[in-house]
Structure 1
Amino acid sequence: MNPSITRRGAMLGGLSCLLGAAALPLHAAAYPERPVRLVIGFPPAGGADFVGRLVAQRMSQALGASVVVENKAGANGMIAAADVARSAADGYTLLLGVTASQSISPVLVAKPPYDPLRDFTPISMVGFTPLVLVVNPKLPVRSVSEFITYVKASKEPVPYGSAGIGNITHMAAELFVQTTGATQLRHIPYKGSGQVITDLIGGQVQAYFDTLPSSLPFIQNGQLRALAVTGQARSAAAPDIPTMQEAGLTEYSPTTWFGVLAPPRLDSAIAQQLNVALGQGFSDSESRKGLTVRGVEPVLNSPSEFRADLEADLSRWRGVTRKAGITLD
C-alpha cells in the first residue's frame, strides 16, 4: 500500500473524525450499551494480536465501554472474517481485518466464504507496517545480498516459515523468490506468527518475512537478525535496519495493513461513531507512539477512504497471486 496515500488518508481521516463527532444523530447516542467483541483471526503473540489489543484498549476508552478481544485463528484470518460477516450488524461485533484475510485469501480460493467488499462495513484503517526479513542469527549472512547468495548456493532447500499458506508472510516470500530467483527457499507454513518465531529461534526454519511489530522485540534482544525491511523508507521503530531498496531490490516493497470492519449493512451512524472513537483513541502522540514503536505507521482514515484502499489492495494481490499460480483450493 502506498505510504503517501495512507499518510494523506490519516490527515483527512482525522478531520472527518472531528466533523463526524458533531454530526452524530441522537439515535446513536445510546450505543454501546454492552461490551463490544473485536475478533482477531490470528493467535496471541503475533503482529495482528498486538495491534488488535491496542485497538481494543483505545476504543474502550473512547467508547466508554469494554471492547473484548476474541482470537479466532485459522485459514489466514478467514474463519474470523466469515464469523464477523455473518454476525448481526448491531455494532457489537467487529473484525480486525488484515491484508491476508481481506485482500489475499479471498482471491486465492474459488469460493471464499465471504465477499471482502460486499460483506463488510469499513470503519477505518488503523495503520500499515513493512515486513522484515529475519533470519536465525547462526545463519552465516548479514545482508540481503549475502542471503540471496547463500540460498542460491545451498545444495539443500533453505526452509522459511510463514504464518499460513496465502498469508502476507507467504506471499511476500513468493514475491521475493520471483524477484531474486532464490528458488532454493522452501516454504514451511504454520498457523500463526508466534509459532514461526519459536521455530526460527530454535533453528527449525532459517528465515521469515514477518510483520515488523511481531519480530521487533526479538530483533532488539538479539534472538533474531534483521536483514531488511520492505518499506520504501526505514522504519522509525527500527532505523538501523536497511530497506530492500537499499539492498538493490527497488521493485520489492510489500507492506501489510490492519483495519477495523463491521458486518454488512451496519447503521451509518454507528459506523461513524466507531470511526470517531477509533480516531479519538489514537488522537494524541502518546497513543500513536504505541503503534509506531512497534513499526506500525498510523493511518486512521474515513470509511470511504478505507473502502477505496481495500479495492486497490484487492486488485494488486489478485495480480500477484495469479502470476504466482497459488491457490488455497
Structure 2
Amino acid sequence: MFNQVKCLVALILSTMIGMSAFAQTNPAANYPNKPIRIIVPFPAGGTSDVLARLLGQKMGEAWGQTVIVENKPGASGNLGADIVAKATPDGYTLLLMDVGTLAISQSLYPNLTFNVDKDFAPITMVAYSPHLLVASNKMPFNSAPELISYAKKNPGKLNFASAAGSGSANHLAGVVFAKQAGIDWAYIPYKGGAQAITDLGAGQVDVTFNGMTGTYPHVKSGTIKLLAVSSAKRNSVIPNTPTVAETIPGFLTGSWQGILAPAGTPTPIVNKLNAEILRAMKLPEVREALKTAGADPYPMTPQEFDKWLNAEVLAWGKVIKDNNIKLD
C-alpha cells in the first residue's frame, strides 16, 4: 500500500512538473488569465473604436475574460501607440488603430518615440473601410466635381477637417485630393473622427474625408451629406454614390484597421490572438456589422500583416516626400 501511495505521489509530481514545463515552453497555454486592454489612440465613436468594442466583446465571450477598450487620443494616434510600444510584451496590452496612420508616423515625425518596424508585433489586419468624402449641409455643392468647381471659384474659402490630426491618413487624403484637383483649403486638426463629424454636422467645418464605419451613420441620419467614396470601385452599401476616382482617376484612400502587440510578445500568444480574432471575424453577426458599416473584413496572418505594414511605411513615406508634407 505504501509503495502504491509513493507511486501515486510521484505520478502527480511528474504531471505537475510536466505541466509547468509545458506552460514555460508554451506561454499561450494559460493565456489569457486576466483582463486584456485594447488601446484605441483616438476618441470614442470613430472607426477604430467601433471595431475594438465589437471584437473585444467577442474575444471576452470566447475566453471568459474581460476585454477593456481604452481610448487614448493625442498626437495623431502616436500617444496611444507609444503606450503599447512600451507596454509589457505579454499579450495583455494591444493596439487597434488605423494602421495607415501608424505607417505615416514613421516618415512624418522626426522625433517619434517609437519605431513602427521594431516596436510592434503585428497580429492581423481587421478591416478596410473606404473614406467618405462628406460635407456640411450648409455647403452649396453635392458632388466631388461641384466641390472642385466651388473651390476654384472661391479660393481659400473652404476648410477641411483633418479628422485625426495633422499627418493622419484623413489629412493626407485631403492633401492629395486638393493637389490633384488643383484647389486650396485650410486644414483644421482634430483628435479624432467623431468630433470632426460632429462639427461638420454643426456647420463649423466644411468638408472632410473620414472612415465609412464612423461616418455613414451620420450620412443616413441626414446630419451631413455624402459626395463620394474613396474606394477603387463603388461600394455595395452605397452603390449610387460615385467614387472619387471617377473624378480624379486613380484616387484611392481608406481606413485600414489592424491589431498589434508590443514587440517581444511570445509568438504562441500572437498566434493565439490571431486565431481568435480571425474566428470572431467569421461570425455572422460580426460580418453583418462590418457590412452594415461599409467595412470589408481583411484577415491576415501575422507574417502577411508585417509585410503589408512595412510596404505601407514605404508607400506613405513617398507620398509625404513627393508632396513635401511637413507638420506646422
Q: Normalising by structure 1, what TM-score?
A: 0.88
SS in 2 for 1:245: helix
Matched with 1:52 is 52
Matched with 2:326 is 327
Separation of aligned partners in 2, 1:49 and 1:281: 16
Separation of aligned partners in 1, 2:114 and 2:327: 15
Q: Which stretch has the larger CA shift, 232-241 or 174-183?
A: 232-241
Shift of 1:101: 4.0
SS in 2 for 1:257: strand
Matched with 2:10 is none
Shift of 1:140: 1.2
**Equivalent residues in 2 for 1:118-197 (5 A)?**
118-163=118-163, 164-183=165-184, 185-197=185-197
Shift of 1:100: 4.7
**AA at the equivalent of 2:272:** Q
Shift of 1:67: 1.1
Matched with 2:22 is none
SS in 1 for 2:161: strand
SS in 2 for 1:286: helix
The structure whose RCO (Cα within 8 Å, separation 6+) is larger is 1
Instruction: Extract unaligned runs of 5+ from structure 1.
Output: 1-24
**Equivalent residues in 2 for 1:231-242 (5 A)?**
231-242=231-242
Note if contact 1:99-1:168 (Cα within 8 Å) is conserved in structure 2. no
Q: CA RMSD in A?
A: 1.5
Q: How many residues align?
A: 303
**AA at the equivalent of 1:46:** G
Note if contact 2:232-2:250 (Cα within 8 Å) is conserved in structure 1. no
**AA at the equivalent of 2:174:** A
Shift of 1:138: 2.3
**Larger Cα Rg: Structure 1 or Structure 2?**
2
Among the aligned pairs, what percent are the same residue? 36
Rate the CA distance shift 1:302–1:155 in 2: closer, same or farther, 3 A: closer
Rate the CA distance shift 1:203–1:86 in 2: closer, same or farther, 3 A: same
Shift of 1:305: 0.4
SS in 2 for 1:300: coil
Matched with 1:78 is 78
Rate the CA distance shift 1:328–1:106 in 2: closer, same or farther, 3 A: farther
Separation of aligned partners in 2, 1:216 and 1:182: 26
SS in 2 for 1:70: strand
Rate the CA distance shift 1:155–1:108 in 2: closer, same or farther, 3 A: closer
Instruction: Extract unaligned runs of 5+ from structure 2.
Output: 1-24
Note if contact 1:61-1:281 (Cα within 8 Å) is conserved in structure 2. no
Matched with 2:68 is 68
SS in 2 for 1:59: helix
Separation of aligned partners in 1, 2:218 and 2:88: 39
Separation of aligned partners in 2, 1:201 and 1:95: 29
Separation of aligned partners in 2, 1:303 and 1:245: 31
Rate the CA distance shift 1:156–1:122 in 2: closer, same or farther, 3 A: closer
